Amino acid sequence: MKQVIGQSWGKYRLTRFLGEGGFAEVYLGEHQQLQIKVAIKILHTTLTEREAGEANQEIRAIASLRHPHIARLLDFGIQAGKPFLVQEYASGGSLQQHIPKGTRLPLAQVVRYVKQIASALQYAHEHGLLHRNLKPENMLLNAQGEILLSDFGITAIPNSGSSLNMQAARGTVSFLAPEQIQGKPQPASDQYALALAVYLWLSGDLPFQGTPREVIAQHLAFSPPSLRSRAQEVSPVVEQVVTTALAKNPNERFRNIQAFAMALEQAALSTSATGALRRPSSFSLTPPTPLFVQQQQQLPQAELFWRQNEPVTMVDWSLDSEQLLGRSNEKHIYVWDVANRKVLQVYQRHRTRVKKAAWGPHGMSTMIASASNDGIIQVWSAKSGTLLQICQETVPIQYFAWSSDGRLIASVAGTNVNIWDIKARKVLVSYPIKLQDVQVLDWSADGMYIVAASSDGAFQLWFMEVQGENHTFREHSRVYRGVTKSAIKALRWSPKKNILAYGSADGNIEIWNPATGIPLATYQGHQEAINALAWSPDGEKVASAGTRTVHIWNSAKGERETLYQAHEGEVTALDWSPDGTRIASAGTDGTIRFWKV
Q: What is the pLDDT of residue 196?
A: 98
CATH number corresponding to 316-535: 2.130.10.10
Residue of 77, 82, 90, 96 lying closest to 21 (CA atoms): 96
**Dihedral of the alpha carbons of 432, 435, 438, 440, in degrees to the nearest 10:** -80
Residues 6+ apart with CB under 8 A from 118: 194, 257, 258, 260, 261
250 contacts 192 by C-beta, under 8 angstroms: yes
**Can you tell me the distance from the alpha carbon of 427 to that of 416, in angstroms, rounded to the nearest whole number?**
11
**Can you tell me the distance from the alpha carbon of 128 to that of 310, in angstroms, rounded to the nearest whole number?**
28
Residues 6+ apart with CB under 8 A from 349: 126, 378, 380, 387
pLDDT tens digits for 38-68? 999 888 777 777 777 777 777 888 888 888 8
Q: How confident is the model at residue 343 (pLDDT cuts 50, 70, 90)?
A: confident
In this model, does residue 295 exceed pLDDT 50? no
End-to-end alpha carbon distance in the chain: 71
Q: Is 115 helix (H, G, I), strand (E, B) or coil?
A: helix
CATH 1.10.510.10 fits 95-273, yes or no: yes
pLDDT tens digits for 263-275? 898 888 776 544 3
pLDDT tens digits for 393-432? 888 888 899 998 899 999 998 888 999 999 899 998 888 9
**Can you tell me the distance from the alpha carbon of 513 to that of 498, in angstroms, rounded to the nearest whole number?**
7
Q: What is the pLDDT of residue 373?
A: 86
480 contacts 457 by C-beta, under 8 angstroms: no
Q: How confident is the model at residue 592 (pLDDT cuts 50, 70, 90)?
A: very high
Domain range 2-88, its CATH number among 3.10.129.10, 3.40.50.300, 3.40.50.170, 3.30.200.20: 3.30.200.20
**Can you tell me the distance from the alpha carbon of 263 to that of 244, in angstroms, rounded to the nearest whole number?**
10
Beta strand 500-504 with 470-472: parallel, antiparallel or unpaired?
Answer: unpaired
Residues 6+ apart with CB under 8 A from 551: 523, 525, 526, 543, 544, 545, 560, 562, 563, 564
Q: How confident is the model at residue 367 (pLDDT cuts 50, 70, 90)?
A: very high
pTM of the model: 0.54
**Mean pLDDT rounded to a whole number for the chain:** 84
Q: What is the pLDDT of residue 92?
A: 85
Q: What is the pLDDT of residue 471?
A: 58
Binding-site residue set: 41
**Can you tell me the distance from the alpha carbon of 594 to that of 597, in angstroms, rounded to the nearest whole number?**
9
Which of 147-156, 261-270, 299-308, 499-508 shows the lowest mean pLDDT across its residues?
Answer: 299-308
Binding-site residue set for ATP: 41
Buried/exposed 295-325: b ≥16 CB within 10 Å, e otherwise = eeeeeeebeebbbbbebbbbbbbbbebebbb
**Can you give the residue ranges of every domain in the chain?**
2-88, 95-273, 316-535
pLDDT over 70, % of the chain: 88
451 contacts 463 by C-beta, under 8 angstroms: no
Greatest mean pLDDT among 65-69, 464-468, 540-544 lies in: 540-544
577 contacts 303 by C-beta, under 8 angstroms: no
Determine which helix (DSSP H) or strand (DSSP E) holds 98, and give its type and residue range. Answer: helix 95-98
User: In the predicted model, what is the mean pLDDT of residues 551-572?
Assistant: 84
CA distances for 442 relative to 75, 358, 371, 452, 514, angstroms: 49, 12, 15, 7, 13
In this model, does residue 435 exceed pLDDT 80? yes
Residue of 117, 122, 90 lying closest to 197 (CA atoms): 117
pLDDT tens digits for 183-221? 999 999 999 999 999 999 999 999 999 999 899 999 998
Q: What is the pLDDT of residue 296?
A: 32
Give the count of beta carbons closer than 10 Å to the beta carbon of residue 2. 10
Residue of 387, 368, 390 lying closest to 319 (CA atoms): 368
41 contacts 24 by C-beta, under 8 angstroms: yes
**Can you tell me the distance from the alpha carbon of 335 to that of 311, in angstroms, rounded to the nearest whole number?**
16
Which phi and psi angles does 195 have, rounded to 5°?
A: -65, -35
Residue of 532, 534, 568 lying closest to 548 (CA atoms): 568
Q: What is the pLDDT of residue 122?
A: 92
Between CA 61 and CA 69, with CA 64 as vertex, the angle to 5 degrees is 110
Strands (E), 328-396: 333-337, 342-347, 354-359, 367-372, 376-381, 387-392
Task: Compute the Cα dihedral for 418, 377, 547, 318 and give only its sign.
Answer: positive
CA distances for 576 relative to 253, 369, 580, angstroms: 32, 19, 7
Q: Is 509 helix (H, G, I), strand (E, B) or coil?
A: strand
